[in-house]
Amino acid sequence: MPRQKYEQIYYALKGRIEAGTYPVGGLLPSENVLIGEFGCSRNTVRRALANLVRNGYVQTRQGWGVCNIYQPIEESAYTMGTIESFAETARRTGQNSSTRVVLFTTCTADEALSRRSGFPVGTELFYLQRVHDLDGVPRIFNHNYFRRDCMPGLTAEIAQGSIYRYLEQTVHMSIVTSKRTITVEKATPLDRQWLVLEDFNCLAVVSSQTYNSDGIMFEYTQSRHHPSIFRFQDNAVRTSPNFSASEHI
């Protein structure tokens, strides 16, 4: 599915910012310049700029324009506001990556798995265990559950590459949103089997429930990260608090 015009502009500007075309602290081209360059309406440019603001790339300055505030993300850092595959994160952070599928099977959600994952009892699932290597070192161990009716053609060979690329380019699924919970948990025997933990006895665990454009939760993943490489970066925006009258007194 082709991207909308504002998305094309967003990714073009995002690429320039990340490449250093616009210096940190400097201004992006004016709206009029961007309208002329991309041949679009003012509203389209503003939608693209609003996405850059929301994702922490720029900040609007009243009477000045749009200022570049981008700082490169640290190596191995994951972003909270976007959904990235492991391969996409590794590519963005300049690391060599590979994935090994160490278990590929099917199961049916029972009551315990339903409570943990959010899948209704009786849902037919693919269950995968995958090890993600960064620069040749095993760093992430994943437990993946996928609804079989959303991707009946999934195979271990596909899972060894990018499952999201398969879903978007082959199945033509639109991946929309993901709810995440981040915890710190004691290392299990499986963690120690697949990850080199050295003196660490715990891992950072990201549990995610991911939904497609039909509102169906098609994935539950528990991603268990080696502590030495775990970083999440977020861009937070403060909203104006609603103070009651008594709080002003």
All domains of the chain, ordered by start, with CATH?
5-68 (1.10.10.10), 77-233 (3.40.1410.10)
Residue 17 or 147, more confident: 147
Number of CB atoms found within 10 A of residue 18's CB = 14
pLDDT per residue as tens digits for the range 50-106: 989 888 888 888 788 999 888 765 544 555 555 566 666 656 656 677 899 999 999
Name the average pLDDT for the chain. Answer: 86
Q: What is the pLDDT of residue 170?
A: 94
Compute CA 70 distance to the chain's CA centroid, rounded to the nearest angstrom: 18
Nearest Cα neighbor of 147 from 114, 176, 115, 170 is 114
- SS3 label, residue 77: strand
| Beta strands per DSSP E along the chain | 58-61, 65-68, 77-79, 97-108, 124-134, 137-147, 175-186, 202-212, 217-225, 231-233
Residue 70 or 7, more confident: 7
Distance (Å, rounded) from C-alpha 128 to C-alpha 142? 8
Q: What is the pLDDT of residue 1?
A: 41
Percentage with pLDDT > 90 across the chain: 61
Residue 211 or 134, more confident: 211
CB 57 within 8 Å of CB 70: yes
pLDDT per residue as tens digits for the range 226-248: 988 887 766 666 665 665 555 54
